[in-house]
Each structure stands twice: as structure tokens, then as C-alpha cells.
Amino acid sequence: MKYQQEISPQRDKKMSRRDFVASAAAAAVAISTASSTVRAANPSKKFRLKYAPRFGMFEQHAGKDPIDQLKFMADQGFSAMFDNGLMKKDKDLVAKIVRETDRLGMTIGPFVLQGIGGKSFVTNDREIRRNIIKQVKDGVEFAKRANVKWALVVPGAYDQALEWDYQTANVIENLKYCAKVCEPSGLVIVIEPLNAWTNHPGLFLTKIPQAYQICRAVGSPSCKIVNDLYHQQITEGNLIPNIDMAWDEIAAFHLGDNPGRKEPTTGEINYKNIFKHLHKKGYRGVLCMEHGNSKRGKEGERAVIEAYRACDDF
């Protein structure tokens, strides 16, 4: 009995230390869990660059209403959005989108003014030119209502019956007319090179150096390039050097990994390095997330957000 009495205090002391350590560990886990919960519930940290989701990208989380989708985008830290078909939307809906993006402090990326189409800019046809100019004038008026700075133009198909250099001269001339219409309002036409191998065979404009040459010849602040990194990875690669060489003529970017045209980290493009490079160069424009989701449902939407968080962590 005496022996037990002599060792009991030591045993109690050891148990007390053990209990203390266990309690401290449990408290640390609880704090860590609580912190993670707070971060998950309030993921409002802004991204370092203006990645711009499209309508429908987060529909499983936000629902079908475009305004609710904008709110969700902002809650996730996105400070921009884009909609290729914005010009075709109902006037009242566009007004609501503009009011909400203004309230949320979000920038609206380029809308499509002229899509793929047939032979247009490569020709010297006066009637076609009149139609192009009319469309640009309509785009200028829409951009004023929608508070958008950029309108996307694809110069159309090439002409197999006309020397390439004549076609280039015609594209330059037609874009000069367009730029002249845009300059007073400050609207910027962004011409987009598209790949011929996977998506768009037969188009005139396919490469960044080609687009750079055209914009330099037009010589207007209202005629620039949208560099779609998905298309250019397919067409020519060499993404960062081409960004640097064409830098003065690039006004916006489109994003999508290759192969598959899904979110960054699903293909071969090192988007983390590209985003770091753009941030270092002081790029403050929009990067339109013109790609699909690699997975379905809410899981796929979370994967998109996590991919951008990972690539934005530089």
C-alpha cells in the first residue's frame, strides 16, 4: 500500500502532462479546421490577374440567373468576366449585367463583334467594306451602353484565288476603316488568330507574328491583338517569346489548355509560368477563360477555381 502511495503522485503527474499535450493537439486541430472552414466559406481573396469566367461556367453553384453567376464569380475572387455573345443579348439584360459588374467592380472582357464568317476582310469589295463599317458602328454604340473597351474581330476566311500579300493588304485597309470608326469612342478592336489544325481550317489569320504585322501596319490604338494561348499552342507554341515580341500590340488574352481546351493544369501549357510572366510585365488587362470544364457538376466547377488558384500562386 505504501509503495502504491509513493508512485501514485508520479503517475498522476505523467497523466496530467499527457492530457495537456492531447488537449493542446486537439485545440490546434480545431483551430486549423476552423481556419480552413472560414477560408472555404469566404474565398473572396482576389486573384492577382483579371481572369474572366464566362456565363455558364459556374451554373451548378450559382444557378442559371446571370446576375447570380456574377455574384458567385466575385465571391470566388474573380474581378472580370466575359461573354462572347453579349452584343446579342436582350437590351434589358445587358443593362442589368452592366449595373452588377459596376457594383462588383468587375471588368467586362471583349465581346464578339464579327465572328468567323466567309471571305470578308481579305477582299477589296466595296459592298463588303460598307457592311463591315456598319457593323463596327453598331459595335461602337453597343460598347457605350455595355461599358466594354474591346470588340473581337475575326478577319474571316482566306481567298484561294488571290495572292496572299494582296489579301494581307486588303485586311490592313479594311481594319484602318474600322479603327477610324472606333478611335473617337476609344473602343479597341482585337483581332484573333485561330488555329487551323484542330478547330478552324481555312481562316486567314492564324499566327501572332502575322497579327502583329497587321496591327503595326494599321497603326492605330484601336486595332490590337487578342492572344488566345490555346490556339497559339496548337499553331506555333513559343508562347512567352511571342508574347514578348508582340507585347505592344496585345490588348487581351484568351485561355484554355491543350489538348482538350479545358482549364489550366489539364494539358501541356505551363500557365503558372505564363501568369507569373504577365504579372511581372505589368499586365492589367483581362484574361478570358474561354474553355470548358474537365469534370461535370460542382466538382468540375471547383476544379476550375482550384486550377486558377494554383496557377495564380506565383
Residue 32 has what pLDDT?
A: 42
What was the pLDDT predicted at 43? 53
pLDDT of residue 64: 98
Grid cell 511571342 in the structure block, residue? 242
* Global confidence as pTM: 0.86
**What is the mean pLDDT, run by run of 10 residues, along the chain of 314 residues?**
39 44 45 38 79 98 98 98 98 98 98 91 97 97 98 97 98 98 98 97 98 98 98 98 98 98 98 98 98 98 98 98
Query: Domain residue spans in the chain?
Result: 1-42, 45-311
Task: Please give the Cα distance from 122 to 2 (Å, whole number).
Answer: 106
Q: How many CB atoms lie within 10 A of CB 166?
A: 13
The CATH code for residues 45-311 is 3.20.20.150
Nearest to 96 by CA among 71, 113, 115, 72: 71
250 contacts 224 by C-beta, under 8 angstroms: yes
Distance CA 312, CA 314 (A): 6
What pLDDT score does 33 carry? 41
- Residue-level pLDDT at 117: 79
pLDDT recorded at residue 116 = 83
pLDDT at 44: 61
